[in-house]
Amino acid sequence: MRRTLVVFRLLIAGSVSAAPVPKDFKPKGEPLAGTTWKGQGVCGETVYTFEKDGRLTYSYGSSCWRNGTWKLDGDKLTWDVNLRYAWFSGTVKDGVITGAAENAVGKSWTLTYKKDPTAKHPKEPSEQVFPRNGR
């Protein structure tokens, strides 16, 4: 009887610790805030820094801008820059960002960036945006 009671308690304890995960549970994605990434962009080699306040700094060539925003939901990353002149939707996994970008004039391209803590921007970023007619 005692042995049966011990087994029964173990079964109950096991079922409590193995409770189902809620359907709406999303594991935290790879942390982006404060990280820098580098890869080939539409304008050449591009460096992105995901600021802790949700702003995005990016540079290519000798240009550097801080006029974008980003959001991470699980492993799903979205960002936009320059009053949504260009935007991106993709995933972050194992130190790699991949996805598709588009812009307001109908161009689209794929992007792949790798986490690179040694990547640097060429100068301090400008926060200037470039408004477009009719938008």
pLDDT digits (tens, 9 = 90+) for 29-43: 678 999 999 999 888
Residue 83 lies in a domain: yes
Predicted confidence at residue 30, as pLDDT, reads 77
pTM over 0.85: no
Residue 27 lies in a domain: no
Predicted confidence at residue 130, as pLDDT, reads 80
Q: What is the total count of domains within the chain?
A: 1
Residue 13 lies in a domain: no
Residues for the chain: how many in total? 135
CB atoms within 10 A of CB 111: 18
CATH number of 106's domain? 2.40.128
Provide the domain limits for residue 64.
Answer: 35-115
Average pLDDT of the segment spanning 106-121: 96
Q: Is the pLDDT of residue 7 over 60?
A: no
Nearest to 98 by CA among 85, 84, 80, 114: 114
C-alpha torsion angle, residues 57, 31, 78, 81 (rounded to 10):
-10
pLDDT digits (tens, 9 = 90+) for 43-84: 899 999 999 999 999 999 999 999 999 999 999 999 999 999
